[in-house]
Amino acid sequence: SQQGEEDPQALSIQEGENATMNCSYKTSINNLQWYRQNSGRGLVHLILIRSNEREKHSGRLRVTLDTSKKSSSLLITASRAADTASYFCATDAKSERANNNDMRFGAGTRLTVKP
């Protein structure tokens, strides 16, 4: 079952602008991860944020987490055409069999950065 849900579904911006993507989830989580996927390829991990963290940075990426609102945002600053991809959040979803908090992914936000 899906846990994270990204918003918007699609985003188109000009190179140099900032891009903000949001993720909402339904149940309490331990961790939230963001991934990127170029068209027709596998996903690449970007950043992991734990439930006791509020913000993390990695290069031009900034992730925030608001557990009271059950939401996270991914900000890409000074975007480049090469940032064009789909971005997914993934959150815990308790697995009944193994008691592992395996992750579930949303449908993603399709980001297009125009040169």
Output DSSP code: residue 40.
Answer: T
Q: How far is the CB of 115 from other proteins (least distance, A)?
A: 26
User: Interface with other proteins includes 103 (CB under 8 A)?
Assistant: yes
If the CB atoms of residues 32 and 113 are measured against other proteins, the closer one turns out to be 32
Q: How far is the CB of 12 from other proteins (least distance, A)?
A: 17
Size of the site for other proteins (CB under 8 A): 29
Closest residue by Cα to residue 6 from 106, 102, 98, 91: 106
Instruction: Tell me the per-residue interface mask from 61 to 100 with other proteins, x by CB under 8 A, - otherwise.
Output: ---------------------------x-xxx--x-xx-x
Output DSSP code: residue 4.
Answer: -
Closest residue by Cα to residue 112 from 73, 85, 78: 85
What is the footprint of other proteins within residues 11-50 (CB under 8 A)? 29-33, 40-45, 48
With contact defined as beta carbons under 8 Å apart, do 11 and 109 qualify? Answer: yes
If the CB atoms of residues 4 and 19 are measured against other proteins, the closer one turns out to be 4
Beta strands in the chain (DSSP E): 5-7, 10-14, 19-24, 31-37, 43-50, 55-58, 61-66, 71-76, 85-94, 101-105, 109-114
Binding stretches for other proteins (CB under 8 A): 2, 29-33, 40-45, 48, 88, 90-92, 95, 97-98, 100-108
